[in-house]
Amino acid sequence: MANHACKTAVCEESHETNVAIEVKDLVTHYGERAILNKVSLSISEGEIRVIMGGSGSGKSTLMRHILGLNRATSGTIRVLGNDITGASQREMYALRKQIGVSFQGGALLSSISTIENVLLPLREHTQLDEETIKIMARMKLEMVNMGGSEALMPSELSGGMAKRAALARALITDPKLLFFDEPSAGLDPVVSAELDELILRLRDALHMTIVVVTHELESAFKIADRITVLDQGVILMTGTVDEIRNSDNSDIQNMIHRRPRKTPANTGDYLQRLTARK
């Protein structure tokens, strides 16, 4: 059951009994470069967790690992009770039926209509009647304020509409676990605020665990139960909105107040990159 009122340290303890995602000591490399370095986090069922960080911080890579799209160098990842670090393709296929993903670019199929895109996962993964499937798809389009747009082709959608259609598709199976990659990027403030409200209502009504990858501070502070801040492949901090706001970590305060960094974070690494020497 959802534990969504938890924004206190007391609630944090009860979270631990119903863990939706657990990452332990995750290390991953692109070539010789470490992208994630000993990353550990635990996300509870019914929690909205926002993962923040600048470009190249590793947040999208972390999401891809949790989805089983990338293989780690070392470490373990458990998702909905399943250890996915050694999972077979078949095991991942079964697990992904319980997961909805809204990718940053939308990733709609251009040759079929909006509603056909939205209902595709139901046709693929269920034996539901066609009429039920179409009603469900229209309900999801209504939820994202795209009622009446079902016949439009992806090429006829604005950027914001394509993003919302992708969200409707991610929601179509009422997944236990929902991932949003940059849900507000490129959206006008009103639509962005509506999406924030929708995320909160989805969690409350359908008891979803929701992971949002973003660097939109206003949105993060509105929806998050807890925020994990990544920087250059390591977790700077995980905490409630208030804990993040009041953090004395200078990198987190720079992020909150949009201040540029004064020096490279690791001068040794920086020198190595400039000289291309080990």
Q: Is 131 in the site for other proteins (CB under 8 A)?
A: yes
Nearer to other proteins, 32 or 129 (CB): 129
Minimum CB separation of residue 20 from other proteins in Å reads: 16
In a 13 Å sphere around the CA of 63, the CA atoms on its Cβ side amount to: 26
DSSP 254-266: HHHTTPPPSS-S-
Q: The sheet that has 48-52: what strands, in order across it?
A: 99-102, 177-181, 209-213, 48-52, 226-231, 234-239
Minimum CB separation of residue 118 from other proteins in Å reads: 12
Q: Which amino acid is at 199?
A: I
The residue behind tokens 């924004």 is 7
Nearer to other proteins, 32 or 131 (CB): 131
What the block records as the tokens of 206 is 């359908």
The residue behind tokens 């949002």 is 212
State how far the alpha carbon of 82 is from the alpha carbons of 79, 85, 254, in Å.
5, 9, 37
Indicate which single residue of 108, 202, 213, 230 sits in contact with other proteins (rule: CB under 8 A).
Answer: 202
Q: Is 205 in the site for other proteins (CB under 8 A)?
A: yes
Using the contact rule CB under 8 A, the part of the chain among 103-111, 120-128, 158-166, 180-188 near other proteins is: 120-128
Angle between helices 114-125 and 159-171 (to 10 degrees): 20
Nearer to other proteins, 222 or 245 (CB): 222
Q: Is 201 in the site for other proteins (CB under 8 A)?
A: yes
Q: Is 124 in the site for other proteins (CB under 8 A)?
A: no
Using the contact rule CB under 8 A, the part of the chain among 34-42, 43-51, 71-79, 138-146 near other proteins is: 138-146
Q: Is 169 in the site for other proteins (CB under 8 A)?
A: no
Using the contact rule CB under 8 A, the part of the chain among 69-77, 187-195, 205-213, 226-234 near other proteins is: 205-213
Q: Is 132 in the site for other proteins (CB under 8 A)?
A: yes
Q: Is 127 in the site for other proteins (CB under 8 A)?
A: yes
The rounded distance, in Å, linking the Cα atoms of 237 and 213 is: 15
What the block records as the tokens of 144 is 């994202």
Residues that bind other proteins (CB under 8 A): 126-129, 131-132, 135-136, 139-140, 142-143, 173-174, 201-202, 204-207
